[in-house]
Amino acid sequence: MSIADWKSIQRCAGVKPDGVPVAKTADAIMRKAKILPFTRLDLQGGGVAAATGMVTGSASNIRRIFVHCSATRVGQDIDAATIRRWHLAKGWRDIGYHFVIRLDGSIERGRPENVPGSHVAGFNTGSIALVYIGGLDAQGQPADTRTPAQLEAMERLVRELSQAYPDAEILGHRDVSPDRDGDGKVERHEWLKACPCFDVRAWWSGHNSTSERSLS
């Protein structure tokens, strides 16, 4: 993406058009878009719209869609801006995820979809990352804490993304832990992390089976 494209984005977002892709520009873009699910910014020029991530890039480049949890305790709600601050404090260039699902089911955008995230070491390129807020119980132990609203929003978002990226596999963070015993399966004792604290493959397979039955 050219400096001229970034300057055009910044002018639309109402920030200084210096052509530098920093977090302040992303924040301004999301404020302008009101961070609504599946919102497309009405910007001038296809290249500029694509650069914001509001219009998807090449679907053939996306091979994985990862589900994460924020590793926060049940009932503790945080937003994309908070996670962005955490990640910037680590020295990252922006929030590591592309989408954030809050407790009430609202979906906030993180990094543009056409910009690689920072969420699974070795798998950031060619992947899209979404995170739901939660993942720990009241004692701080890994648990599936998704609210009914989050469950509905996650299904909707993953279905939308799987349609946009039809070749992408739906995975949880823990699913790409190394298969240390070489049996062809990543088992609990091999997980590097518990994230996202539920079986993503089983969850998504169940939803796909339900959808197929409803269409038959």
Q: Which residues are catalytic, by number?
A: 68, 97, 173, 193, 195
Dist. CA 178–CA 80, nearest whole Å: 29
Alpha-helical segments (H) within 53-91:
80-89
**Smallest Cα–Cα separation from 133: which of 196, 204, 65?**
196
For strands 99-101 and 64-69, give the pairing.
unpaired
Output the six-digit token pair for 166. 């039809």
* H/E stretch holding 171: strand 169-172
| DSSP single-letter state for residue 142 | B
Find the helix or strand (DSSP H, E) in which 51 lies.
helix 46-52
Amino acid at 100: V
